[in-house]
Amino acid sequence: MVTPSVPLDRGRHPAVESCTLVIFGASGDLARRKLIPALYNLLLDHLLPDNFSVVGTSRKEMSHDEFRARMRHGVEKYSRRPVDPMTWSKFERRLFYLNGSITDAQTYAGLKSTVEKIEADLRLPGHRIFYLAVPPDAFAPICEGLQHAGLTYPPDPSHPFCRIIVEKPIGHDLESARHINRALAQVFDESQIFRIDHYLGKETVQNIMVLRFANSIFEPIWNRKYIDHVQITVCEAEGVGSRAAYYEQIGALRDMVQNHILQLLCLVAMEPPHSLDANVVRDARIDVLRGLRPIVGKEVDRMTVRAQYGRGRLHGADMSGYREEPGVQSNSTTETYVALKLCVENWRWAGVPFYLRTGKALPKRASEVAVQFKDIPQILFNANPNTPQAPNVLALRIQPEEGFSLRVISKVPGSKARTHPVEMNFDYEDAFTTGTPEAYERLLLDVMVGDASLFMRRDAVEASWAWVSQILDGWKTQGKTRLPEYPAGAWGPAEADDFIQADGRAWRTM
């Protein structure tokens, strides 16, 4: 029995056309844990056409049947719904595999003949999507290989579509991001490129625009007159683990702030778009990035805090410090925690600080956007300065439980005029009784119909890197040889608490 769920909204999209999805890096975790389970759930929701194909490719030697068995194991383990034998039987007949190296021209010649044969056998119209689930240094050779083999074609309404999906990170600084974008642009038009960030596919993230622009109670007060500040928090409950050597070259600012958190900021701070057209929405988002006050020079010390986790206890077990992890240099200054104070310099947000924080080895895994409204005047129910009234807060929970809450002040039952803050909660699981679609389901469906609203455009990628790079340059100039530490399992360094308390504010308890 297939568990019912909340399906994606068919009415929002035109019908999905039959197509072939080619996944580079198909033997990796992303395909097994996210992509194939997402496609399977789309099929369960009747959102995929009856005729489609998925071709996986990587260096690993596998037959079609071995690939199908590997993908079924992934669906059994990671899908939000169990395997339905009849649906899976239909699904696996559309899964194919081809091994090869991305630097070998024969790989692309073989891929072309395989795709064309599948398209002919299944009577597919030739629509193609290429998913690059590989490291960024593989993007350029894959694009060149696809082009030289004749697997790609420019956008043309009279011709089948051809699209490419690339995973983050898009570079490690501004210049490398530009290099990747140039490599993509040599083969694909910008309208064909979908830079994916799974955070933007989460229900609560999508709901930010709905909350703001579909409810008359919020948009009139979504500005400097009523909002005191905004906090965006992304907590990770694990250390770097096996990714230590990779993380040592990246750090929290590049890993989380440059993409996920800045995109959340854009959705919270953007002006109302005049339509839901993809480029109109993305224009509104990039205006926020362009309006960020640069953090340079002495401002780097005042507006940022970075730290590393040290020894501590996490989930009841002892944990080594970051500099003790295999692959990490003993004198490392790579941050596993960062806190920032941002200012959006426009009329709506003048004087409203945005506090961002993210870190590893924190007490729990959680992400939220919290909008704190200004205090009420110190009269009536807020007349006693020794016991100030708690402020109203709208908190959007992104993970692990998706939903939102609004803190309001209520009278305590009884004869006295006593007040107490209460939370009005909305939880997706409780409201709809069943699981909501995974982020990759929504994003893959958007690519199939050509809706780029939730994907990053080239100018946005480069604008975010330009802003982040100034902070990285400032840290380099500081020349610190050791960062503050926080014990694993703590909420971050004392310096981060001092940082926000200097403004008369405090981090929210997650």
pLDDT tens digits along 179-213:
999 999 999 999 999 999 888 888 778 888 889 99
Round to whole Å and give the CA distance between 438 and 436.
6
The residue that leads in pLDDT, 341 or 423, is: 341
**pLDDT of residue 3 exceeding 50:** no
Half-sphere exposure of 41 (CA within 13 A, CB side): 31
For the entire predicted model, the pTM comes to 0.90
* pLDDT of 21: 97
**pLDDT of residue 306 exceeding 70:** yes
How would DSSP label each residue in 279-317? HHHHHHHHHHHHTBPP--TTHHHHHEEEEEEESEEETTE
- CB of 197 closer than 8 Å to CB of 259: yes
- Beta bridge partner(s), residue 425: 405
Reduce the DSSP state of residue 416 to 3 states and report it.
coil
Closest by CA position to 390, among listed 412, 403, 374: 374
Round to whole Å and give the CA distance between 300 and 333.
16
Confirm or reject CATH 3.30.360.10 for domain 200-501, answering yes or no: yes
How would DSSP label each residue in 418-443? -EEEEEEEEEHHHHHSSPPPPHHHHH
Reported as a single tens digit per residue, the pLDDT across 102-116 is 999 999 999 999 999
pLDDT band at 15 (very low <50, low <70, confident <90, very high): confident
Reported as a single tens digit per residue, the pLDDT across 45-90 is 999 988 899 999 999 999 999 999 999 999 999 999 999 999 999 9
- Beta bridge partner(s), residue 61: none
* pLDDT of 5: 45
State the span(s) of the chain assigned CATH 3.40.50.720.
14-167
Burial class (CB within 10 angstroms; exposed 0-12, middle 13-18, buried 19+) of 124: buried
* pLDDT of 87: 93
Domain 14-167: top CATH class: alpha beta
pLDDT band at 382 (very low <50, low <70, confident <90, very high): low
* pLDDT of 11: 44
How would DSSP label each residue in 463-482? HHHHHHHHHHHHHHHHT-S-
Round to whole Å and give the CA distance between 9 and 436.
11
Round to whole Å and give the CA distance between 211 and 369.
13
**pLDDT of residue 302 exceeding 90:** yes
**pLDDT of residue 168 exceeding 50:** yes
Q: What percent of the chain has pLDDT over 70?
A: 95
> 394: which 2 tokens?
């709208």
* pLDDT of 430: 75
Dihedral sign, Cα of residue 317, residue 318, residue 321, residue 327? negative
> Average pLDDT in the 210-228 region?
93
Round to whole Å and give the CA distance between 330 and 197.
32
> Would strands 337-343 and 317-319 be described as parallel, antiparallel, or unpaired?
unpaired
* pLDDT of 479: 83
- Beta-strand (E) ranges in 206-360? 227-235, 304-310, 312-314, 317-319, 337-343, 353-359
Round to whole Å and give the CA distance between 142 and 144.
5
The residues that are catalytic are 260
Reported as a single tens digit per residue, the pLDDT across 485-508 is 999 999 999 999 999 999 999 999
State the span(s) of the chain assigned CATH 3.30.360.10.
200-501
Q: Which residues of 359-375 are buried (b: 16+ CB within 10 A; e: fewer)?
A: bbbbeeebbbbbbbbee
Reduce the DSSP state of residue 455 to 3 states and report it.
coil
Of 139-143, 152-156, 242-246, 351-355, minimum mean pLDDT range: 242-246
Burial class (CB within 10 angstroms; exposed 0-12, middle 13-18, buried 19+) of 498: exposed
The residue that leads in pLDDT, 202 or 283, is: 283
